[in-house]
Amino acid sequence: MKDYIAFCGLDCESCEARMATVTNDEALRRKVAALWSELNGVEITPEMIHCVGCRLDGVKTPYCESLCPIRQCALGRGVETCGSCGERKRCEKLGAITGNNPDAALNLMGYDFITLRERPELADAAAAWFHEKWGVPTEAYLTCMRAYLNGETEYGWYLCLDGERIVGGMGVIENDFHDRKDLAPNVCAVYTEEDCRGQGIAGRLLNTVVEDMRAKGVSPLYLVTDHTSFYERYGWEFLCLVRGSENELTRMYIHR
């Protein structure tokens, strides 16, 4: 599990208090102090905004250091995170966090969300996994993956790992076997293993793809699917019907 994942599952790496600390950004410290004061109804000064992360050695905000009940409980129990605590499913304190933050709940499951560039040695296994799920030739996947790994394209491949087991994944390609060549690029091969569904894995991967592509100047994205309602949860909109490789009509979605 990433060192920056807090005991409760929140990601300290994205916390502005930590960002202000590691960059020594006084303006950001003042901004965070003002926001936290308003949200909590107590005075929080910029001098309190010093924190390197919940589970890392080093400075903490006063709340994180000694007032956070979840951190104090986890330290007392000696657990790595609340994810390894036998009482986590019935813990009201933890539920207040994970119930409003699906990413925190996922982080406690111990899954790793990666791009293939982070683990290029998984290319063969990933291509075989996608082939098993969708029936597209393994070599077709490998061709796309090699182009991504070699820097010939920024159309990436994204995986969710449970240990070394691939439990979810998707990719980005120019066209996902439909007649609207102008609607590109396409998110493709979206799949989550059946025993891991209902936990938000696909949604986390979808959001990762959108953010990664947008950071590279690639937007909007398109996706063909027969599903309804699922993709709308993650900001996708139904666009039109398109014809697939066997002349069948299927739904095209867009993420702007």
Cβ-count burial 31-41 (b if 16+ within 10 Å, e if not): ebbeebeeeee
pLDDT at 1 over 70: no
The whole-model pTM stands at 0.81
237-243 and 221-225 strand pairing = unpaired
Classify 37 as helix, strand or coil. helix
The pLDDT tens digits of the residues spanning 205-251 come to 999 999 999 999 999 999 999 988 899 999 999 999 999 988 999 99
Nearest residue to 221 (alpha-carbon basis) of 233, 242, 236, 241 = 236
Q: Domain spans of the chain?
A: 12-108, 112-255
SS3 of 138, please? helix
Q: Please give the backbone phi and psi of residue 210, each rounded to the nearest 5 degrees, phi first.
A: -60, -45
Tell me yes or no: is domain 112-255 CATH 3.40.630.30. Answer: yes
Which single residue is written with the structure tokens 């996947």? Answer: 141
Q: Which residues pair with 253 in a beta bridge?
A: 223, 238
- Mean pLDDT, residues 1-14 taken together: 90
Q: Which helix (H) or strand (E) holds 188?
A: strand 186-192
Share of the chain above pLDDT 70, in %: 100
